[in-house]
Amino acid sequence: MNSNFYEADLRKALCKEIESRRIRELGDSSPFFVQLAKLYPTNGSKIDWARVPDSIERVENEDALQAEQFAKFFDEVIQKFRLSGEVVYIGDSATDFALIGSLECMSEALSKLLAVPQHHYLIGSDFSWCICFTMEGNMGFGFHM
């Protein structure tokens, strides 16, 4: 299994979840990005949330608060829209694999996922919704059009 430093580090951090199969690897993340680009409008390499009807956006400029604020945003969105089921996680540069697990498990693993310096995407397994957290502290959520 080829991996870079960040992938190896993330696998180590998620060791219990992976060994128990609560989080599973789905292989290369590229097909997931291709599908996201088909379903969500983009601006460069990011989702253009302004063009996603009824999307929710937030920004946290304070670096020390970004991960904590995204975790709150994530929980808020889950509750507001009563999201459930499995979630796919992909990162846009430091890791090249996709991970899948229950919404609860991914929520519990958020701090480990966010420790990797990249943009983070958590996607409903049917692509009906996506939530994103960028390295600049931008957060976005929406349902595909």
CA dihedral 13, 101, 113, 70 (to 10 degrees): -140
pLDDT for res 24: 98
Position 2 pLDDT exceeds 70: no
pLDDT for res 93: 86
Closest CA to 36 of 141, 144, 113: 144
- State the average pLDDT over residues 94-112: 96
Residue type at position 104:
E
- State the average pLDDT over residues 11-32: 97
Closest CA to 6 of 116, 112, 110, 90: 116
In the chain, pLDDT over 70 holds for what percent of residues?
97
Position 1 pLDDT exceeds 70: no
In contact, 141 and 77? CB cutoff 8 Å: yes
- State the average pLDDT over residues 104-123: 96
Position 26 pLDDT exceeds 60: yes
Confidence band for 44, pLDDT divided at 50, 70 and 90:
confident
pTM of the shown model: 0.95
Query: Sign of the CA dihedral 123, 124, 126, 127?
Result: negative
